Amino acid sequence: MPAREKKYKVSLHHLASFARQFVTMLNGGVPILRALEFYSEGDPSDLGEIISQVCNNVNSGMSLHASFSKYPKVFTPVFLGLVKSGEKTGELTKMLSRLATLLEQEDHLMSRIRSAVTYPFFLALVSFTVGCIFMYVIIPAIEPLLTGLGVEPPWPTKVLILLGKIIRHPATLIGVPSLLVLTWFLGPTVLENARKHPVWGERLDWLPMNIPIVSDLYQRITLARILYSMATTLDSGLNILNALDLGASVTDNRYFQRALQKSRMALTDGENLEEALLAAQVFPAAMVQMLTIGEETASLSTVMGNVSNMYAEDATYRMDTAVQLMEPIMLFTMGIVSAFLVLAAILPLVKMIDSL
């Protein structure tokens, strides 16, 4: 049997850090091979191993772009496209600098998304932990006392007793952890296969674009990534058709990919940029108008970069606002749950005292 290809794990932050360090060494006059060697020697992670192999390939006569392209799951099409453009035009350092900026912006945006969901997740985890303590410790201790004294438990306590029995049932104790473990290990594989399926993949891509509140935020984040990559591509000397191709490569959503491909075909057929983008029926009219002005004033890449920053900042603002709104809602919900748990524990004690 052939050897199984190793799966490398490289984060966006790690890749952005490599791009910035690499271009810094090149700007300092370090040759490409030596810069790759320096980085691979100082990075013991998967990326360091990859860069070591890239260095060996380049040393054997392979181009830098071809060496990077051997790892398509690590280096994105935009990464490869800009490196290839830099090698062709003789401006590799300039293209790598733009690439590093692009990766850093995407990493910053993703870190803001992660930080936005951390606090609500922490509050939900605290609520779940408190609930489990009541279900597994307090309620089982109270229930025998009520039964022994012949006291009818109040309805909050009845609800918790019933939930406690369900949670402590062997089927639940075995089934739920098993399901979580299976989801943890098999979930990514199942989701990846579902995304490749023509029907289920379409449905998964449709969801984030049609869920209320989430859809608006998702579209802004996606457009920010697409526009910034397109602006970087145009600045590198490539034309708008190449920019649309690379813009489609930074998103895995089929609707945006088809929209960009449709716009590309419209431009190829002779339509102007405004007509091509509007024909896709995905891009906001305000964005199309601004890009049209940029095309008319020969500053399309600059306008694309500005619109990208605008969408990224707007997405960040919306996320921060959503988190600020979620905090009081989560605290209120935790207060209601805590009050219910306390009543469920105290009311039977009051009844027991009255019955003595």
Q: What is the pLDDT of residue 355?
A: 65
Lowest mean pLDDT across 7-11, 60-64, 296-300, 321-325: 321-325
Domains of the chain in start order, with CATH, are 12-104 (1.20.81.30), 107-356 (1.20.81.30)
Q: What is the pLDDT of residue 104?
A: 83
Q: What is the pLDDT of residue 53?
A: 92
CA–CA dist 247, 239 (Å, integer): 12
Of 49, 78, 46, 84, nearest in space to 65 by CA? 84
The yes-or-no verdict on residue 54 having pLDDT over 80 is yes
Q: What is the pLDDT of residue 132?
A: 78
Between 340 and 2, where is the model more confident?
340
pLDDT tens readout for residues 193-251:
887 788 888 888 888 888 887 788 888 888 887 888 788 778 777 788 888 887 887 77
**The residue type at 277:** L
The yes-or-no verdict on residue 2 having pLDDT over 80 is no
CA–CA dist 15, 63 (Å, integer): 20
Inter-residue contact 236 to 85 (CB < 8 Å) = yes
Q: Which residue has the tokens 């024909």?
A: 279
CA–CA dist 226, 244 (Å, integer): 9
CA–CA dist 236, 79 (Å, integer): 12
CA–CA dist 137, 6 (Å, integer): 46
**The residue type at 168:** R
CA–CA dist 12, 47 (Å, integer): 11
Residues 6+ apart with CB under 8 A from 147: none
Q: What is the pLDDT of residue 172?
A: 79
**The residue type at 67:** S
pLDDT tens readout for residues 85-95:
777 767 788 77
Please give, one letter per residue, the 3-state secondary structure of the chain.
Answer: CCCCCCCCCCCHHHHHHHHHHHHHHHHCCCCHHHHHHHHHHHCCCHHHHHHHHHHHHHHCCCCHHHHHCCCCCCCCHHHHHHHHHHHHHCCHHHHHHHHHHHHHHHHHHHHHHHHHHHHHHHHHHHHHHHHHHHHHHHHHHHHHHHHHHCCCCCHHHHHHHHHHHHHHCHHHHHHHHHHHHHHHHHHHHHHHHHHHCHHHHHHHHHHHHCCCCHHHHHHHHHHHHHHHHHHHHHHCCCCHHHHHHHHHHCCCCHHHHHHHHHHHHHHHCCCCHHHHHHHCCCCCHHHHHHHHHHHHCCCHHHHHHHHHHHHHHHHHHHHHHHHHHHHHHHHHHHHHHHHHHHHHHHHHHHHHHHHC
- Quick one: pLDDT band at residue 126, thresholds 50, 70, 90? confident
Average pLDDT for 267-287: 86
The yes-or-no verdict on residue 179 having pLDDT over 60 is yes
CA–CA dist 18, 16 (Å, integer): 5
CA–CA dist 25, 18 (Å, integer): 11
CA–CA dist 116, 317 (Å, integer): 11
Average predicted confidence (pLDDT) for the chain: 82
Q: How far apart are the first and last CA of the chain?
A: 77
